[in-house]
Each structure stands twice: as C-alpha cells, then as structure tokens.
Amino acid sequence: MANLLIIESGGKVKKLKSILGAGWSVKASMGHVRELADDGQDALGFDLDGAHVRCRYVLRNTQAQKIISELRGAVRQADRVYLATDPDREGETIGWHLTQELRLKNPLRVTYTEITKSAVEKAIANPRTLDPKLVAAGRARDCLDKLVGYKGSQLVWRLNNGCKSMGRVQSATLHLLVKREQEILAFKPQDYWVVWVEYKEGFKAFYAGSANQQTSKTPSEKSTDGSGSEKDDTGEEDPVAEGKRVLSQVEADRLVAIARSHAHQVVKVESKRVKQSPPAAFTTSTLQQAAGSKLKLNPEVTMKIAQKLYEAGHITYMRTDSVILSPEFCAAARQWLLEHDPNNVPSKVAFHRSKSGAQEAHEAIRPTHIERTPQLLSSQMMGDEAKLYGLIWNRAIATQCCPAQIAKTRIVTQSGAVLWEARGQVLIEPGYTRYWNNIASDSQLPPVQEGQPLTLDKADAEKRQTQPPPRYTEPKLVQVMERSGIGRPSTYAPTIKTLKARNYVQLIKGKLQPTLLGMELDEFLAKVLPDLIQPEFTAKMEADLDAIASGKLDWERYLTDWHRDYFAPALNHAVAQVQVLPKTNQPQTSQSKSTQPKTKAKGQTQNRPQTEQTDYQCPKCQRPMVRVFSKSQKLKADHFLSCDNRQGGCGAVMFWNPTLANYELPKSSRPAPPANPSKLTEHPCPSCGQPLELYEYTRDGQIKKMLRCSNPTSRQDQCKDVAYFWTKNEVFWSPKLGELKSKERQKSNR
C-alpha cells in the first residue's frame, strides 16, 4: 500500500516522484476541482441565511469529474493521504475542497515553498491539519467576489454597450487607469525655460536662484543633471529637474545676459560619501515589475515562466508578498560570496521589512540552490526562462552583498547676483551593484576649489513645456495596485489580463490606456456604486480578509453583515439611480445598435412589448427584423432578432454574441467557410475520410492549434466529434479518439 501525495499542478508530478521514490503515488488535482454552483438567487450558488452562508459546490467541469474519479481510486489504494496543494490561502481552500469531495477523514496537510529533496522531506516529516482560518478566508473571497461580480454586473448590463462584467478588484484597478487618463485629458501644458551655463573646466550648471536667497534643495531639484537617483523595479526614475524653472522668455534672456557679462567663480563645494543598501529580494509584485522593465514581459507571462521554474525545482514559490529569506539560504549565499566574491561580504546584512499585512510564512522568491548560477543552468533553459531565472538569482545574491558606496558632489557657482548649481556622483565601491544595478549612470564633476575663477564656455536657455503624468505601464500598474492595497499577489496578473480581455483597457506603445468602453463603465459605476471602485474601499476589504485568515473575524458573519449593512442598501440605491439614467431603448444610430444589445438582467420587471421593430436587415432576404423578447436562460441577452418576412417564409433568426459584440446567425444557418488548401494535412478524418485541416484559435491570450475535419458540411454533423488538440507533449490528442499517430509511427506499430 502506498502513500498518496495530492498536489495541484501536473508539472510537479515527475519531480516529486523522483524525490519521494518507491512507496509513493503522486497525483495532481490540476488546480481547482470545485466551484460555487450557478443556482439560487441571482445564480450565486450560496444563500445568506441570518448569520450563516449556505454554499453549494459543484465540480467545475468534465475534466474535474474525471480527476476526482481517478483520485478516489487512488485514495482507496493508499494508507495515508497527504495534501500538498500550494502554500497559500487558495491552496489551503483547494485542499479543503478535495477533502470534502474525496471524503477524506484525516488528511495530512504538508506545505513547502521549494521543490527540493530537503524541503519536501522536511514537510512530509512535519504534517499538520488543514488550517480552518485560511480556508475561511479563501471561501469568503470566493463568495465576496461572486456576490459583487454577479449582482454588480446585472447593473452593468443595463448599459447595453458591450460591457460584460464588473468585479471587486477589476473595477477598482480600472478606476486607477481612468483617473490617470482623466488627469492627462485635463492637463494644460505650461511653457517654461531652462537656463544653464557650461564651463571650460568641464561641467554644466543650471540656474539656482539669486545670491541673496537660500539655495533650494527641494526634492524636485535634487538632481539637476540627471544623476544621483535610484531606479525602482519598474525601471522608472524620479523626473530629472534642471534647475529652477524660469517662466518667461524675458527673464530667461536677462539671466543669460548676466551669465555672459559677469565673471564666474566657485562659491561652494560639497562632497560626501553615502552608502546605498541593496534592494530586498523579489516578491510577486516586484518580480513582475522588474521582468516588465528589464525583459519586457507582461505580468501574465512572467508568472507562467515563474511557475515552470518553481515546478522544475529552480526557485521558491512565486506567489508571495514577503521579502524575508530563510537563514539557510542566507548562510549558503554568504558562503558562495566568500568563495567567489570575498570582498563583497558585509559584516552585517541589510534588513528588509515586509509591507504591512504580508504573509510572513512565505519566503521571498529566490533560487533554491545558490550554487546553480545562471551560467551553470544556461544549457537547461532557453530564452525568457533563462533570463527570468537570471533576474531572480542576481537579485537574491545582491541582498547578501555589501552596500554600494557613492561619492556625491555639489558645486555652486556665481556670476553677478545669480547662482548656478551642478551635481554629480561617482560609484566608488560597487558592492551589490555587481549583481543588481539600480543606480543611475555616473556623472563625475572635476575637482575645483571655493573661490576658484571659472571660464564661461557657453550660456543659453531652452524653452520647454510641462508634461502630463504618464500612463501606467503594466509593471507600474502592478506597483500602484500593491501600494494601494488592491488585490493580492495571485490577483495582479489575472486582473490586468481580464481588463484587456474585456476591452476595458488597451496596450498602446507599452502603456495601458482605458478604452471608451472602459471609461463609460467607470463613469457608470462612479454614479451607481461609487464606493466599490475606490482603492481605499477595496483595500479595507482585503484587510478584512486578512483578519479572517488570522482568526480575528468570523467569515460568515462578516459576509452577511457586509451584505446587510452595506451592499444590499448600495444595490437598492444603485437600482434607483439607474432608473433616472438615460433609457437604453431610446432611438440610436444603426452603428450604435450593432454593438449595444438589450442584455439580460435577471429580475427585471418593467413592462415591455413582446416584439419591437428594428432597423436591422435580414442577412437572407434583406427585410427588416424584429426584436423578440424572451426569458430563456440559454440566450446571452433578453431577446433575439427574427425576420419580419412572414409571408416569404424566410424564418431567419439572429442571436447576440457578446464576444463579437454583434448579432449572428446560429451555426446551422451560417454558410460554412471553405477549407484552406494550405491548412490541409496528410491525416484522413476517421469519420468521413476527408483530410484533416489545421485550425488555429486563441484562448486565454494564447494561440492554440487543433486538427479538425476539412469538410465544412460534415464537420457540423457526423464529424463534429473529430477534434485533435496540440498538447505539451507535442502530439495531437483527442479526448474521444486518443493520440493521432503519424504514418511512420503507424507503420512501426504494425
């Protein structure tokens, strides 16, 4: 009889089997197996009953049914069952669902943050029970998000403009982007002049005021030559200020004239040596930011690559908000430095504190073995995978290095009554920057003495305009989400992905810009549910979920109280607000009608006719079509279009397709496109004998491939089950027909 280890991802099975050896069976749940049912009031799948939440869970899909069936068989064969789902609240909740569905009596919960022999064996030797507090927080998040998403989306549907949904985290994030866009649209540029002098002694200085005023050291003027600033993980630096701004051409000309007509001399020289501590190790947020700025990877791709690195045992768990590193890793990193970079070993390592609310049980993201350098593993990895591992390795080793030492210099010169200022810095001890350089380029000033006369080479002024605040890049948005308390490490990438998929935002030249649809949605929510789009409100809800996870709040009472005291009254008020907004059935242009269906809203009780004339033309007979209202749950809207040519007997109907944001004929009525000769393969259809054709489509932002029958007529009938999908094993496989073998393999099998 074997021990059974149940994990989430199938990608870890092989690695864990090699670690555990004989006597162990490793099975994967492939993530979530259950979800809230789509039944009951508003299809929430749960009821709020007094101070209790009655949830009804169902298996997610047919794949989950198959997985559960296989796991039940494995459980019957096992002496002990260990649940090794991911070490976070979501993983704990998945473990609880598996316990319920598999009817496990005493499952042993094990967690590890790296897939290495020592970490896994240590976890197996120290099992625990499922943490009910973490499970409660996970269930509360699921119910809360569905409650807000489903009920709020019913209001959104009334816009009839193609908006598909709203969400607790997604709408607050959209609001950040819309606010920035509004700031850009409202921005009015102002002219100003930068006045500067160049000396033959080899440096440039900027206007700094008059001699009878105190030289300003405001933050906006701390770096007059672009040096001295520290880059954050988004790759962005503080805006470069170039002296005091001059607000008129007349004043700029006057200052230039003074510079050209008066002698110059040094009046002050300040030099100091400062230490710059290394940055903290990566969290999920900072990893996404750094990968975006240095490797041009979006958050979703970054997390997919990090998942592969984790499953291969190269890095620790990649969803974390802690910057803490284990003592064992710090000791190993220090030993590596003593052997390879002994002058870079500090007497005391810089201490970094995680942000408030971080789950300190998790480590920061780091390599599992410091001796596995990027160069050593270069042959095992390709492309972005190797580059991302290099970022993680270098950042982790940098945290254990000496501080960088920088010599900073400030020179103030004077001509007449006008002061000029130059700043520079030189990196004199690189320290941690050998592995992670986040210090701006050097700008060295020449050695000068106070009272030293200077020779003017050039004096001039340049007209500039103030610039609007920049749109957010994806890395910057992740940073803003984290700082605003919106979402958690596991939600940053999916939230941005959803906003793009819903066409609420678009990526233009690397910057996120809300679309007109996104602007309309945010404006609507600001009127009807203003609290839910405010970052502070969403951050408070995240803090409440943290309190549930720590046992300070009862999740059922929290949810029922929140619904009774806030959300239900807010929804009632929102419905009243919607009644006074412009009606969606007002006359519209034919173009606007093509993208704005009357979308289904459950519980809608307004009186309306059974049919309504439209100006759509029937695609078959070109006669006008009528809108026929229906309560059918199978429709994507509360109506369909029907041809009004009753005498001609056309009978055409069209249904709303939210993906295309337009009406379309049912599949049986659509003319099938002819097969593309360039897509035909050598494989015959097992049903009709026609060649299979290669078909490409997009799902979850990725391009997928499949083989299907090339006969468009039989493809909708006798060959509808013929579908071979391209798998990770680089073979075509069908759920009903199995693996598609090449002719060579077929011959060899004979």
What stretches of 529-627 show up as alpha helix (H) in DSSP?
A: 535-549, 555-562, 568-580, 590-593
The residue count for the chain: 750
Give yes or no: residues 261 and 290 share one domain: no
| Predicted pLDDT of residue 599 | 42
| Predicted pLDDT of residue 585 | 36
| Other CB atoms within 10 A of residue 187 CB | 12
Q: What is the mean pLDDT of residues 428-450?
A: 89
Query: What is the distance between the alpha carbons of residues 130 and 360, in angstroms, rounded to a whole number?
Result: 18
Query: What is the distance between the alpha carbons of residues 520 and 507, in angstroms, rounded to a whole number?
Result: 18
Using alpha carbons, select from 728, 672, 675, 737 the residue that is nearest to residue 702: 728
Q: What is the mean pLDDT of residues 321-349?
A: 92
pLDDT of 73 strictly over 50? yes
Give yes or no: residues 630 and 724 share one domain: no
Name the 3-class secondary structure at 642.
strand
Lowest mean pLDDT among 76-85, 300-309, 397-406, 625-634: 625-634
- The answer to whether position 595 is within a domain reads no
* pLDDT tens for each residue of 669-713: 555 555 667 788 888 988 888 899 998 876 665 678 889 988 877
Alpha carbon of 535 to those of 289, 457, 463, 484, 563: distances in Å?
20, 52, 38, 6, 19
pLDDT of 750 strictly over 50? no
pLDDT of 266 strictly over 90? yes
Give yes or no: residues 182 and 195 share one domain: no
pLDDT of 490 strictly over 70? yes
Q: Which residues, at least 6 apart from 148, have a Cβ–Cβ distance to it below 8 Å?
A: 166, 167, 168, 532, 567
| Predicted pLDDT of residue 622 | 77
Q: What is the mean pLDDT of residues 348-369?
A: 74
Give yes or no: residues 408 and 272 share one domain: yes
Contact 440, 406 (CB under 8 A): no
Handedness of CA 514, 515, 517, 523 (dihedral sign): positive
Give yes or no: residues 296 and 351 share one domain: yes
Alpha carbon of 267 to those of 213, 414, 416, 423, 426: distances in Å?
14, 7, 12, 14, 22
Q: Please identify which residue in the block is written with the tokens 């002296």.
A: 243
Q: Which residues, at least 6 apart from 77, have a Cβ–Cβ distance to it below 8 Å?
A: 1, 2, 4, 25
Q: Considering its fold, how many domains does the chain have in total?
A: 6
| Predicted pLDDT of residue 138 | 94
Does an H or E element contain 726, and which?
strand 723-726
Q: What is the mean pLDDT of residues 381-410?
A: 94
Q: Which residues, at least 6 apart from 290, have a Cβ–Cβ distance to it below 8 Å?
A: 233, 235, 282, 391, 395, 475
Alpha carbon of 693 to those of 237, 673, 717, 719: distances in Å?
51, 13, 16, 13
Report residue 664's pLDDT band, with 50, 70 and 90 as the boundaries.
Answer: confident
Give yes or no: residues 150 and 270 share one domain: no
Percent of the chain with pLDDT strictly greater than 70: 85
Average pLDDT, the chain: 85
Handedness of CA 387, 392, 397, 399 (dihedral sign): positive
- The answer to whether position 671 is within a domain reads no
pLDDT of 749 strictly over 50? no
Give yes or no: residues 662 and 574 share one domain: no
Query: Strands 203-210, 46-49: parallel, antiparallel or unpaired by DSSP?
Result: unpaired
389 is catalytic: no
- The answer to whether position 476 is within a domain reads yes
Q: What is the mean pLDDT of residues 490-497?
A: 90
pLDDT of 590 strictly over 70? no
| Predicted pLDDT of residue 739 | 85
Here the CATH number for the domain that contains residue 117 is: 3.40.50.140
- The answer to whether position 429 is within a domain reads yes
Q: What is the mean pLDDT of residues 316-333?
A: 91
Q: Which comes out higher in pLDDT, residue 334 or 633?
A: 334
- The answer to whether position 427 is within a domain reads yes
Domain around 714: 677-749
Q: What is the mean pLDDT of residues 343-367?
A: 76
Give yes or no: residues 543 and 452 share one domain: no
DSSP letters, 312-331, are TTSB--S--------HHHHH
The last residue of one of the domains, among 437, 465, 493, is 465
| Predicted pLDDT of residue 239 | 57
Using alpha carbons, select from 633, 560, 699 the residue that is nearest to residue 52: 560
Lowest mean pLDDT among 218-227, 387-396, 737-746: 218-227
Lowest mean pLDDT among 332-341, 454-463, 678-687: 678-687
Query: What is the distance between the alpha carbons of residues 230 and 240, in angstroms, rounded to a whole number?
Result: 12
Q: What is the mean pLDDT of residues 229-233?
A: 67
Query: What is the distance between the alpha carbons of residues 556 and 577, in angstroms, rounded to a whole number?
Result: 30
| Predicted pLDDT of residue 280 | 93
* pLDDT tens for each residue of 184-220: 999 999 999 999 999 999 999 999 999 876 544 433 3
Q: Please identify which residue in the block is written with the tokens 């199995």.
A: 738
Give yes or no: residues 340 and 383 share one domain: yes
| Predicted pLDDT of residue 218 | 35
The last residue of one of the domains, among 366, 398, 430, is 398
Lowest mean pLDDT among 2-6, 70-74, 411-415, 724-728: 724-728
* pLDDT tens for each residue of 27-62: 999 989 999 998 888 889 999 989 999 999 999 888
**What is the CB-side half-sphere exposure of residue 368 using CA atoms within 13 A?**
21
- The answer to whether position 136 is within a domain reads no
Q: Which residues, at least 6 apart from 525, have a Cβ–Cβ distance to it below 8 Å?
A: 152, 156, 166, 171, 175, 532, 533
- The answer to whether position 568 is within a domain reads yes
| Predicted pLDDT of residue 187 | 93
- The answer to whether position 135 is within a domain reads no
| Predicted pLDDT of residue 744 | 45
Q: Of 207, 317, 389, 472, which residue is the catalytic one? A: 317
Name the 3-class secondary structure at 566.
helix
Lowest mean pLDDT among 25-39, 156-170, 247-261, 696-710: 696-710
Lowest mean pLDDT among 443-447, 498-502, 746-750: 746-750
Maximum distance among all Cα pairs of the chain, rounded to whole angstroms: 102
| Predicted pLDDT of residue 410 | 94
Here the CATH number for the domain that contains residue 392 is: 1.10.290.10
Here the CATH number for the domain that contains residue 437 is: 2.70.20.10
Give yes or no: residues 115 and 11 share one domain: yes
